[in-house]
A and B are shown apart, each in its own frame.
Chain A
């Protein structure tokens, strides 16, 4: 386990998750009425920005266990794509469409990428060697 100071990957990941969950709650709490999309879009954009910032910070870590990170991220992404797909299916099944569907779909995409990044980073950080 490395003791050097690490960038705030977990904190940014949690912030991204909080923003995406807030976007989802804001949106679904208005359904099936017309949904004001400005707030969900802002929250989604902020969440995606945190995710991108995390990706940038990851590339700056010296000696990071990329092989371990990639292995874990790949499988976790596969698993969370399935769960995100199930949730997407329920929205499509119920004729959610237009702006709300786009926001919900992008939110699920951010969720399905964010969780694997957090899991893979934690594993690669604490258990780097094979």
Chain B
């Protein structure tokens, strides 16, 4: 019996991610500038459509990304081998470090202006309790994201810039990232419940 022929191609070759020159992708900064400029125009104009667009589009992306990270990608990341986890982290985290604060700022700034425009932030509004509940949910998510998740994310990025990243440090910080992403993911379900309730009046 003939020996099995070697495969025409070897195992897929994994190209390690290049160590970036900066912690956040600098190419994205002009886009952030344009988005913020448009946000200022939307708030200054106080027109319903641009405000609705910024609040709903940024809010939907924020919610969707949080849910995906917390409930889908987080558990997958937690079960991956450390080298694979490092590869994914090195590619994903710099982008998230730029995207998430922009989405959060757009959602909140446009949301506040929209609330004033529609009268939903007025304390006399019929669903005021729901609006206050949304403040609390956003507040809790903000504390978790800004005080725990974001610092861990940035520290991982610094560790990954080393020639020989310390797997123990990355593992410890990533565990923090995965748990907090899970919590904010679950809290985003509360956001969906509140916002759909407010939308129907």
Q: Which residues on A are within 8 Å of B, measured CB to CB?
A: 1, 10, 13-14, 17-18, 21-22, 24-25, 28-33, 68, 72, 75-76, 79, 82-83, 86-87, 89-91, 93-94, 114-115, 118-119, 121-123, 125-127
Question: A87–B36 Cα gap in the complex (Å)?
Answer: 11
Question: A82–B128 Cα gap in the complex (Å)?
Answer: 29
- A83 x B105 contact (CB < 8 A): yes
A-B contact count (CB 8 A): 106
Question: A1–B158 Cα gap in the complex (Å)?
Answer: 13
Given A21-B143, A94-B113: A29 touches B150 (CB 8 Å cut-off): no
Between B158, B168, B173, the greatest number of chain A beta carbons within 10 A of the residue's beta carbon is seen for B158
Given A25-B139, A32-B122: A89 touches B40 (CB 8 Å cut-off): yes
Question: A83–B143 Cα gap in the complex (Å)?
Answer: 15
B16 at the interface (CB under 8 A from A): no
Given A1-B169, A25-B136: A119 touches B109 (CB 8 Å cut-off): no
Given A33-B123, A115-B147: A21 touches B139 (CB 8 Å cut-off): yes
Question: A42–B113 Cα gap in the complex (Å)?
Answer: 27
- B123 x A115 contact (CB < 8 A): no
Could you give, for residues 4-38 of chain B, a 1 whenever the CB lies within 8 Å of some chain A CB and a 0 otherwise? 00000000000000000001000000000000100
A residues in contact with B142, CB < 8 Å:
17, 21
B43 at the interface (CB under 8 A from A): yes
Interface residues of B in 109-159 (CB under 8 A from A): 109, 112-113, 116, 121-124, 128, 131-132, 135-136, 139-140, 142-143, 146-148, 150-152, 154-155, 158-159
